[in-house]
Structure 1
């Protein structure tokens, strides 16, 4: 038996008429009769009896019809899933992102997208940048968002944005009155620092060293959002990415541009050995748009990479 015979049988059982079954399938009445005959021969028993010139299903035909109904429902579901995949509304995507993005900003930024794509399943992992590259290379995640590029033939690295680090201050801090904060202004200030293995720490320390300023580390924390919490409670100051601490009101925490400008990149890492699904492709487009507001001009060399 073949699927066309099954469709003809299902159409006949639902409409009760060879003519109506043909109309539903868009084929002639003789074509339906031929398909029904072939289906009966495949089953090996009588499916219909004639009564007053009409085909009447046998009990055996009704038993088969119950199974055919489930089969047709399954194929219709496959059609809906295929349409959803085609329209990028169905799938499963795994993202590994640096904690500064994964803890607060990405959940908030991606929520409107996920609210519209209700059949899309997302897994969001918070990982350090070196670990993100490893996960992408091993094809354990679909998308990696790292502040480190990764030079490996199995990984494609794209510079998404270049952002400027900012100075975070308690709202009542005397420096909060300034429109920009120089590294020199932070001399003798209690500094809330990220852990020693954080990839941004070397960049921040270099900015202090270039200005000959000794950074007074008072508190060391594992995540940028934790540093924001300490700043908002008046414990000290910090230098962090612009996309953290966005939920704090201005009467608790303020952010000011840092001079000299201290920039970092966010790299989007994907596997070069496995193409992204349609859903993952759409998600990368949305991530680009979500991060665009923090974009600083990328140098030509970074753009070419």
Structure 2
């Protein structure tokens, strides 16, 4: 036997109002319907929910327990409504963002927060494959990644065009180079990302195109892990040029076979909408326009 939420709400309304008629007015249904809900529970479960005294219905102790359940149901329903509506409300709204790299995503989040400080933000980080899957399955509202396929599934807004570069410790013999080649790098201790990384796909294509088959000294699952390995002198790693805001002694050196520029974009399912999402894309448009204007001012 089970009891429906509708019946529990009817019981709670009768307990609050003292009569079937008043409960019916509260719920916006007929008095016979309220009576049927209450009596149905009493008959099916063999219990008494109300005692009549002085013309009013008074809840039994068992009924009061059901009323506690009804209150929790109402709280849960209100919470569900807030979850479903907050992405469409800029006042006290919420947005979840998936990042493949810390930058330029964090800079964009900072701009969005400045424009809409009442919107809360949660961030999920991961590989290209992980963030793309999170966007497709709606586990995050928007993603920020390079080289997102323009295949019609996604709405996109350009943030920056950038290339993959080698990252080298300042004490490395390669640190003085202005540009590197895959042939130079094949003899160095290499630090790679795991499969699923957009960075690693570019690196693999470059070495394959040069007819080389590198064996990395170390393979790590995060960009930050690669960065720390290079900072500790373990080897040469790779990252998107604008993938971090850190300005320490790590050198970023272009690689001849990796000189192609890729678009890093904000993206979301094309059929998705909402005020908070629209505001995030608006911030992305401002951010991207500013980056492109700065690049144009610097010249080639």
Q: TM-score, normalised by structure 1?
A: 0.57
Counterpart Cα distance in 2 of 1:264 and 1:201: 14
Counterpart Cα distance in 1 of 2:176 and 2:153: 49
Corresponding position of 2:81: none
Counterpart Cα distance in 2 of 1:201 and 1:123: 26
Counterpart Cα distance in 2 of 1:254 and 1:179: 10
Counterpart Cα distance in 2 of 1:157 and 1:112: 18
Corresponding position of 2:273: 275
Change (3 A) 1:249 1:120: same
Counterpart Cα distance in 1 of 2:244 and 2:284: 19
Corresponding position of 1:43: none
Paired residue for 2:253, among 252, 256, 260? 256
Counterpart Cα distance in 1 of 2:133 and 2:229: 32
Cα shift readout 1:215-261 (whole Å, capped 9, x = no counterpart): 240011111111111111111111211123432413xx111122131
Corresponding position of 1:187: 186
Corresponding position of 1:265: 263
Counterpart Cα distance in 2 of 1:270 and 1:168: 31
Q: Is the CA contact (8 Å cut-off) linking 1:133 and 1:150 kept in structure 2?
A: no
Counterpart Cα distance in 2 of 1:293 and 1:145: 15
Corresponding position of 1:302: none
Corresponding position of 2:21: none
Change (3 A) 1:108 1:159: closer
Query: Between Structure 1 and Structure 2, whose CA radius of gyration is higher?
Result: 1
Q: Which structure has greater strand proportion?
A: 1
Counterpart Cα distance in 1 of 2:111 and 2:150: 33
User: Which is worse superposed, 126-135 or 285-294?
Assistant: 285-294
Corresponding position of 1:35: none
Paired residue for 2:93, among 91, 94, 110? 91
Corresponding position of 2:281: 284
Change (3 A) 1:233 1:128: closer
User: What is the CA-CA distance between 1:147 and the residue it aligns to?
Assistant: 3.5
User: What is the CA-CA distance between 1:188 and the residue it aligns to?
Assistant: 0.7
Count of paired positions:
206
Change (3 A) 1:107 1:149: closer
Corresponding position of 1:135: 134
1:36-185 matches, cutoff 5 A: 90-98=92-100, 100-101=101-102, 106-111=105-110, 113-115=112-114, 117-147=116-146, 149=148, 155-158=154-157, 160-185=159-184
User: What is the CA-CA distance between 1:143 and the residue it aligns to?
Assistant: 1.2
Change (3 A) 1:246 1:139: closer
User: What is the CA-CA distance between 1:182 and the residue it aligns to?
Assistant: 2.0
Counterpart Cα distance in 2 of 1:143 and 1:219: 31
Corresponding position of 1:221: 220
Change (3 A) 1:183 1:97: same
Structure 1: runs of 5+ lacking an equivalent: 1-84, 298-305
Structure 2: runs of 5+ lacking an equivalent: 1-87, 296-300
Q: TM-score, normalised by structure 2?
A: 0.58
Cα shift readout 1:78-105 (whole Å, capped 9, x = no counterpart): xxxxxxx99x56521111222x23xx65
